[in-house]
Structure 1
Amino acid sequence: MTETVLITGATAGLGAEFARQIAVKGSNLVLVARNSERLKEKAAQLRGKYSVQVETLAADLLTDDGVSRVVARLKQSAMPVTTLINNAGYGLTKSFADNAIETELDHLKIHVEVPLTLSHAALQGMRERRSGHIINVASVAGFTPRGTYGAAKAAIISFSRWANICYGREGVNVMALCPGFVHTEFHQWMNVDKKLVPSWMWLHADDVVAEALRDAARGKAVSIPSVKYKVLVGLSRLLPPALVATLATLAKRGR
């Protein structure tokens, strides 16, 4: 059976790079994003260059209707989704108390509620087929005290670890991808000056995705791309939380 991979947040950043590398392998794609025009453009590029089937699904995942339509595609028995990549997400520039609570709840929804909902839908068919992969794009921020973004990513890392143990027995790999700073549009949308972050901390999207796909194929529960970030995460578990929080803040500010 030809692999079919559904990717949320598929028109930019890591989502677009996942789509490219998966298309190179000859798998079919289902691309999900809010902007229908960008989806059409991305799909046309991938079809033309790699001769793969590409479906598009324009959906705002902060709405019940958007989530419901993606859930329906994940439950579809024709051309079933064999890999789900929960990539959609964004960061907040203000701290928790300075944001409206509605802003924080939307942020929590896109990073935790939506991936759990889509994973639940995908698992129904994957368990029946006794095969499948779910990649939840998290962050190294999930290993450090980093506000509600770090808290949301910590939740999805914890879920992925447990789910990989539980459903790995049934042939389904669930993995949290935890990159550090990656050269994508993510920081531009947040109006963050990338020059403020030390150059050695930046990763390239193609390297991150390649390592993620290798780790998923190996059945890993957590993928931390690059040796330097593996070391940093290891150190974060040994140092006092207050010190880790300070260092994470300084790194974010480029100090």
Structure 2
Amino acid sequence: MIADHKGQHVSFVRQAIGTALSPVVYLAQAPNAFFNWFSDVITERETLMRENKSLKDELFLQQTQVQKLVALEAENARLRNLLGAARKTRGKRLVAEIINVDFASAAQQVMINRGTEDGAFIGQAVLDAYGVLGQVVDVSQYTSRVLLLTDARHAIPVRIERTGFNAIVEGAGALNRLKLRYVPDNADVREGDLLVSSGLGQRFPDGYPVGQIDTIRRNTGESYADITVLTAARMEHSGEVMLLWPAEPWQPGEYGKDSAEQTEAKP
């Protein structure tokens, strides 16, 4: 009984000492446990950061691919529009690319990658996917310069589609801006009227969009209205253009010769 009593006493003492030392043991192990936990956190954070960077890189790659697809879709749409416009003419036509632009100077021009090697000639009509862009004013073997409709030196005969009224459109010297000239102050013109090439002068084929009337200002006492026009061609967005050849080239020399022969044949 004495031994048993002493054993119980010793066990109680050990339990009490263990209980008392538990916080000390916990505190002694805490730095190591904290270090292990912190290491796990750092490792997990680094893993997440790597995964995040990988996902960002993949997203960026996909976004660039989507941009390329959007660009290709836009290019295809422009080409389809060009082909649709080309069906209006029976003559030869050829797609060209704009390789340089000059909108800042007084002479608003673009350069295209077609020249005499391709049959390009001075005075040739040039369209974009939406309407008349301008005409060729200089050619080399592989390139040509195109004077835009908006150049202040450029003019083109047009017809108001709604009424059939013929007039002249001149460049305003500003991007996408034209002036409709010599329209009487009391003429039947409205904002939003579509202007198309009339074919007069035989340089631009008939029926191609030139622009849309933007504003009309009728001045009392003036003979002609002040009319501004927005171009149909989207000059700042054009990347591909269409060169047109007349279906039946007009040659003044041959025309004069024919007329003279007919005159001589009369009794």
Instruction: State the TM bucket, normalised to the shorter chain.
Output: under 0.3
Question: Which protein has the bigger helix share?
Answer: 1
- Taking structure 1 as the reference length, the TM-score comes to 0.26
- Taking structure 2 as the reference length, the TM-score comes to 0.25
Question: Which protein has the bigger strand share?
Answer: 2
